[in-house]
Amino acid sequence: MRRPFNRLFLLFGFLVITLILAASGYMLGMRHLEGQERDFWSSLEWASETLTTTGYGNDSHWESPFMVVFVAAVQFFGLMVTLSIVPLVLIPWFESRFEARLPSALPVLDDFVLVYRWGPAVSSLVVDMGSQSIPAVILEENESRARWLREKGHRVVYASLEEGQLDLAGVERCRAIIANGEDHDNAAVIAIARQRGFTGQIFALVDTPKHRRPIILSGADAVYSPMHSLAAGLAAKASERIAPRVTGVQLLGDDVEIAELRIQPTSKVAGKSLAEIDLRRMTGATIVGQWYGGDFHGQPSPHTTLEPGAIVVALGTDDALAKLGELATPLDRSGPLLVIGFAEVGQKLVEMLESVGESVMVLAREPHERLDQCGDALDRQVLEDSGLRRARAVILAFSDDSTTLFAVTIIRDLAPDLPIIAAVDRADNIPRVHRAGADFALSISQVTAQLLGHKLFGEQFIAVEPRIRVFEATSTPFVGLTLGNARIPERTGCTVVALERYSKTVTELGAGLTFSVGDGIFLCGSGEAHDRFFAEFPAARPD
């Protein structure tokens, strides 16, 4: 708020000095070049009229060429000063004088979350809190950003830690504090809050993991590194060894496998529901979910549409999956993972993948001893040379979203069926990255929202990506009923994927299949669907 006033003071001093110099020069020039005496006050009058372009008084003609040049120079200089004053000084002064003042103290509000410094890491969390009617107050030290946040409808407090304006009076009314500034500033804010008597939870987001302990000692309850959390989220998307799509498949025996296939836009099943195509009867395979728009949509119903470009997850025998492969393109799961970008996220990502035994290739622009290929990832030839076509998936770990968008477009053109996983800085760029061709996109703010949302508000606060599992049940409640009449998917959200009868696993199931005494049923669903199934049919629980 002081800067426009400082400019006014500097402008005043500049004008006084300029007038004195111009008047002195004119007085000397008239005496020695024109042979006419002018006192200082007459010269000052000429200087003010010339610099402001309002006129020249009695003097409007000069004989000496040097005097003419001097007068012309003063005229042009005055014009430039006049044109510069308006945008650089007057407009900022009027804005600061008449626009609303930003609050500098915490509002009188109960049970709110105080967020110190706005940034990509907390944007999704603040939006999620708004949807849950949980008030958030953003403490921001950058005035332009504070005004922008206020225009967006956020509650904002503008105060400077460096200038001693931050005292956090009223912080005891907070539910929790999230520190998202520089590591040393986070520590200072946490210490001030604790000195003020705040006893609630404080969570800090750090740039450097080695600063975790000092920030904990300052009073934080937990410290997270968003970059490392983003790397963990990308690793989970890329490797089933870290986060399996479907667990418990081993219950079905060695004859049943799980596969991922892409629904090409030209496939005859693209855009159709499972009921329309009766995929299980056609192929013997069971669709247990599909990746679309970056999310895994499990628990498919007969009305679920196979989206063009989606990656479906299917269970079945080799023959069943081969038949499904005639309708969709099987994804190669045998090649290495290609990581492009080797900054902080890329390095941690490679470390996590290699720790679980994954084969990883690395491409980056800046030289590093770990790289398999050094070059520009936006160069098609460099991508070809990096082994793109033999990779089973590519993971983009760039530091800016524009590069990510362009790289996704190039890679999708080179390898139409290759799964692309992308790290995104700003959450609002995720839809753009998906439209460019990425299968999965994850932002720092999404990861932070899941971490802190779970810590602060419980699992109900955010929609955690569902994990699908296969589990076993008995046929006791269904004996004599057909698979269609039992209506298990409609009542529980679970899908029957196999039947064990006379020690043989049957996966080709039709709606007319009748349950018999002693049958073992294998179902697939989320954790909630599993609990709902046994709540609906307690007699089906295995002994």
Q: What is the DSSP string of 179-209?
A: E-S-HHHHHHHHHHHHHTT--SEEEEE-SSG
Integer CA distances (angstroms), 294 to 309, 419, 433, in order = 11, 11, 10
Encoded amino acid at 201, one letter:
Q
3-state secondary structure of 261: strand
Q: What is the DSSP string of 197-245?
A: T--SEEEEE-SSGGGHHHHHHHT-SEEE-HHHHHHHHHHHHH-TTTS-S
Closest CA to 463 of 351, 296, 324: 296
Cα 149 to Cα 115: distance, rounded to the nearest angstrom: 12
Cα 301 to Cα 289: distance, rounded to the nearest angstrom: 10
The predicted-structure confidence for 206-235, as pLDDT tens digits, reads as follows 988 888 899 999 999 989 888 888 898 888
Tokens of 490: 């409609």
Q: What are phi and psi of 219, to 5 degrees?
A: 130, 5
Neighbours of 518 (CB within 10 A): 12
Q: Do you know the residue count of the chain? A: 543
Cα 519 to Cα 529: distance, rounded to the nearest angstrom: 21
Q: What are phi and psi of 444, to 5 degrees?
A: -60, -40
Closest CA to 183 of 218, 137, 142, 144: 218
CB 490 within 8 A of CB 263: no
Digitized pLDDT (tens) for each residue of the chain, 543 residues in all: 455 556 667 767 777 888 888 878 878 887 888 778 888 888 877 777 777 766 655 677 777 888 778 877 877 787 777 777 666 666 666 655 545 577 888 888 888 899 999 988 888 888 888 877 888 999 998 888 988 888 888 999 888 877 666 778 888 888 899 999 999 999 999 998 998 888 989 999 998 888 889 999 999 998 988 888 889 888 888 888 887 767 777 777 777 888 888 888 888 888 888 888 877 778 888 888 887 776 777 777 778 888 888 888 888 888 888 888 888 888 877 889 999 999 889 999 999 999 999 999 999 999 999 999 999 999 999 999 998 989 999 999 998 899 999 999 999 999 988 999 999 988 888 889 988 989 888 888 888 887 787 677 654 443 444 567 888 999 999 999 998 899 898 888 888 888 888 878 887 787 788 999 989 998 888 878 888 999 999 999 987
Task: Sheet containing 468-474: give its strands across.
Answer: 246-247, 468-474, 520-525, 495-501, 504-506
- Burial label for 33, CB within 10 Å (0-12, 13-18, 19+), is middle
Question: Which residues contact residue 162 at a Cβ distance below 8 angstroms, ignoring those fewer than 6 apart?
Answer: 141
3-state secondary structure of 159: coil
H or E stretch at 535: helix 527-536
3-state secondary structure of 389: helix
Domains along the sequence of the chain with CATH:
1-98 (1.10.287.70), 112-224 (3.40.50.720), 242-445 (3.40.50.720), 468-540 (3.30.70.1450)
Closest CA to 283 of 311, 250, 261, 316: 316
CB 150 within 8 A of CB 102: yes
Cα 284 to Cα 114: distance, rounded to the nearest angstrom: 54
Cα 494 to Cα 517: distance, rounded to the nearest angstrom: 21
The predicted-structure confidence for 438-459, as pLDDT tens digits, reads as follows 988 888 888 888 778 767 765 4
| Residue listed under structure tokens 């006791």 | 476
Integer CA distances (angstroms), 298 to 322, 394, 467, in order = 22, 23, 8
The angle subtended at Cα 440 by Cα 337 and Cα 248, nearest 5°, is 75
Indicate the Cα dihedral angle 21, 26, 29, 35, nearest 10°: -150
- The neighbouring-strand residues paired with 286 are 315
**pTM for this prediction:** 0.69
- Angle of helix 3-32 relative to helix 65-85, nearest 10 degrees, comes to 170
- The strand pair at 286-292 and 257-262 is best described as unpaired
The predicted-structure confidence for 339-352, as pLDDT tens digits, reads as follows 999 988 999 999 99
Integer CA distances (angstroms), 520 to 381, 475, 506, 536, 541, in order = 54, 6, 10, 17, 11
Neighbours of 455 (CB within 10 A): 15
CB 333 within 8 A of CB 393: no
Cα 212 to Cα 210: distance, rounded to the nearest angstrom: 5
Q: What is the DSSP string of 24-60?
A: HHHHHHHHHTS-----HHHHHHHHHHHHTTS--TT--
Cα 395 to Cα 234: distance, rounded to the nearest angstrom: 8
- The strand pair at 440-443 and 468-474 is best described as unpaired
Closest CA to 498 of 213, 253, 252: 252
C-alpha torsion sign, points 183, 189, 195, 197: negative
